């Protein structure tokens, strides 16, 4: 079956590697275009990353009807990663063929009142069932899609990591363009907020998780002296109003703070021997700073400076292919990386790099890697043909 120009196959021939396709969210023949791009399958799972302009529930239902043997899940995005690189107004499908993958899919509701014991038990039972069915699919990983406005990602991934142990987990927080009003998750025929969907996967393809960012720490540090961790709000830094002190350290006035400033000058926290980004979403009431990830009183924050985002991305993705090119890459890329690339006029260079390395995915409101919820990174999974062990 011929591919559409914007369809992207993970590998030529019959190898059981992921395939992907994309089409405009408003296309009248949207499902037909996606189906043509993906090919006939059968598929174990299809992930859908949809512009907020799409009707996510209707989209998932129609893909389930077109591919009745596949598990289907999806989320809204803050932009898409397609064959054109950075894209907007698209629906992206990323499919795992039944020939090389076995999947268990868990819908996790009511993130604000999770029962850790029940969640861990459910994950363990799903892993046991997957193991009995998986046969020769020896590579195990998990993919998490989560409501990006829930504020619960940190707690959720910490609990999931306890059940998954050494199994790598990678994921992204659903977006809403740049509006930050409503994000949606779809699975098992339902569209939900305050929810997540976890896919437990066994694969005959070797899989390498990764997380990258182009930021480096400076010598400028600050201490959180007032915070509301439940709302991810910092009220005071160095015992001064948070936004004013952050601006002062940058040599700016508080009224000059903007999404571009936040994208260009995030803060870092050190954990597990490395720095992790804590991105600032906006300035809140009374000069507070609202963050995208967990923040607590007493944390020492380090200001970060960016290197060239396109050059760094090309170097890191090339490193993944050093011992053989991946057949496909699933990527979760923070919205602030797109904002920075736009402001620095590097969108074309970043897009060309993403396209050249065959990265499919979406722009997020946060990323997950292992037991961490992070910001301003690209996390993902690189898939290699069977027999190419990493």
Cα–Cα separations (whole angstroms), residue 169 to 70, 200, 306, 376, 383: 21, 9, 26, 18, 14
Least reliable range by pLDDT among 29-33, 170-174, 258-262: 258-262
Give per-residue pLDDT as tens, 238-289. Answer: 999 999 999 999 999 999 999 889 988 889 988 777 788 888 989 988 899 9
Lowest mean pLDDT among 91-95, 116-120, 278-282, 380-384: 278-282
Q: What's the mean pLDDT in 196-221?
A: 94
The span from the CA of 390 to the CA of 382, in Å, is 10
pLDDT, position 350: 98
Task: Give residue 15's pLDDT band: very low, low, confident or very high (50, 70, 90).
Answer: low
For residue 4, name the pLDDT band (cuts at 50, 70, 90). very low
DSSP per residue, 328-388 = EEEEEEEHHHHHHHHHTT-HHHHHHHHHHTTEEEEEES-EEETTEEESS-EEEEEEE-TT-
pLDDT higher than threshold 80 for residue 89:
yes
Q: Which domains are assigned to the chain?
A: 8-212+311-384 (no CATH), 215-306 (2.40.30)
The mean pLDDT of 77-85, rounded to a whole number, is 97
Q: Are strands 233-237 and 240-241 parallel, antiparallel or unpaired?
A: antiparallel
Is pLDDT above 90 for 142? yes
Summarised one tens digit per residue, pLDDT across range 99-121 is 989 999 999 999 999 999 999 99
Q: Which two tokens stand for residue 346?
A: 């590097």
Binning pLDDT at 50, 70 and 90, where does residue 309 land?
very high
DSSP 167-234: S-EEEEE--BTB--S---EEETTEEESS-EEEEEEEESSEEEEEEE--EEEEEEEEEEEEEEGGGTEE
């Amino acid at each position: 079956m011929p591919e559409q120009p914007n369809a992207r196959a993970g590998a030529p021939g019959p190898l059981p590697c992921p395939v992907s396709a994309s089409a405009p969210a408003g296309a009248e023949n949207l499902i037909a275009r996606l189906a043509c791009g993906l090919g006939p399958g059968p598929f174990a799972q299809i992930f859908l990353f949809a512009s907020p302009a799409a009707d996510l529930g209707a989209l998932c239902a129609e893909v389930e009807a077109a591919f009745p043997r596949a598990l289907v899940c999806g989320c809204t995005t803050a932009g898409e990663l397609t064959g054109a690189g950075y894209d907007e107004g698209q629906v992206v499908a990323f499919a795992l063929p039944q020939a090389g993958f076995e999947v268990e899919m868990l819908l996790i509701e009511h993130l604000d009142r999770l029962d850790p014991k029940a969640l861990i038990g459910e994950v363990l039972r799903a892993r046991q069932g997957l193991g009995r069915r998986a046969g020769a699919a020896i590579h195990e990983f998990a993919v998490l899609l989560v409501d990006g406005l829930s504020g619960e990602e940190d707690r959720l991934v910490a609990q999931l990591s306890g059940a998954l142990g050494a199994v790598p987990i990678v994921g992204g927080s659903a977006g809403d363009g740049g509006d930050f009003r409503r994000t949606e998750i779809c699975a098992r025929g339902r569209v939900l907020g305050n929810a997540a969907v976890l896919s437990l996967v066994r694969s005959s393809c070797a899989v390498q998780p990764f997380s990258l960012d182009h930021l480096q720490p400076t010598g400028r540090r600050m201490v959180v002296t007032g915070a509301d961790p439940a709302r991810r709000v910092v009220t005071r830094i160095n015992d001064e109003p948070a936004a004013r002190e952050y601006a002062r350290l940058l040599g700016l006035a508080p009224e000059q703070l903007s999404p571009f400033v936040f994208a260009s000058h995030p803060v870092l926290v050190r954990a597990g021997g490395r720095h992790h980004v804590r991105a600032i979403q906006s300035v809140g009431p009374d000069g507070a700073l609202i963050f995208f990830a967990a923040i607590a009183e007493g944390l020492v924050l380090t200001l970060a400076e960016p290197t060239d985002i396109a050059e760094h991305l090309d170097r890191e993705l090339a490193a993944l292919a050093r011992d053989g090119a991946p057949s496909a890459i699933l990527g979760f890329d923070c919205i602030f990386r797109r904002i920075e690339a736009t402001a620095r006029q590097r969108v074309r260079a970043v897009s060309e790099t993403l396209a050249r390395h065959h990265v499919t995915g979406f722009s997020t409101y946060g990323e997950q890697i292992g037991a961490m919820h992070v910001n301003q990174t690209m996390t993902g999974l690189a898939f290699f043909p069977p027999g190419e062990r990493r």
